[in-house]
Amino acid sequence: MAQNLGKYFGEKKIFNKVTFELTEGQSLAIIGPNGSGKTTLIRILCGLIRASEGSVIYTEQNKSIAWENLYNQMGLVGPYLELYEELTAHENLNFFSRIRNLKHTSNWIDELMSRFLLTGRENDEVKNYSSGMRQRLKYVFALMSKPKILFLDEPTSNLDQQGIATVYEIMAGQRKNGLLIMATNDPADLKYGDFQIAINT
């Protein structure tokens, strides 16, 4: 649940009075012109930055969940997420698995790599990946913890039609089995949002 969220950089207002509530099995699309704060709102909702005002509360069985207990329940895909260029895909994945204390993920990661057409490229350094391959690898990162809450910022950016189809399958499954929150202006993406909120500058 988001209550009266606002964000300011200095005296510049990005947005304010953003309020919504979602329950499991629902999805939200955040829309608005470029520079309106869609990405900023996504980053607030997943705890990467703080709101200037208002609050974000996640609950389970009517009890608030502490942020430190939320991170392994969240997955995020966004253009600002960076991978380690000099490491291979598997080295990146193994590193972040250890950081997040994820165990017994190797078979699941192999399944995700196959689903995103990266099988056979696991041992390539990420610097040799195309932009589309990097975007697909970000989905593997986001999904390897089997998150209850999935945040997508520009979900189909840099993807070909096959990649887009895979992402839409992921989005359809997530909205049934967890929470899906995305920032997009693509009309094709919006059909996966049960609700919309518009952010305006």
Concatenating the DSSP letter of every residue in 140-170 gives HHHHTT--SEEEEESTTTT--HHHHHHHHHH
Burial tier of 189 (Cβ tally within 10 Å: 0-12, 13-18, 19+): buried
Task: Say how many domains are in the chain.
Answer: 1
| pTM, 2 dp | 0.92
pLDDT, tens only, 56-92: 999 887 888 888 888 889 999 998 888 999 999 999 9
Q: What value, to the nearest 5°, has the Cα angle with vertex 76 and ends 17 and 178?
A: 80
Beta bridge partner(s), residue 148: none
pLDDT value, residue 135:
96
- CATH code of residue 52: 3.40.50.300
* pLDDT tier for residue 138 given thresholds of 50, 70 and 90: very high
**CB neighbour list of residue 77: distance below 8 Å, 6 or more residues apart:** 135, 138, 139, 141, 142, 150, 151, 152, 153, 155
Residue 75's identity, in one-letter code, is G
Domain around 22: 2-198
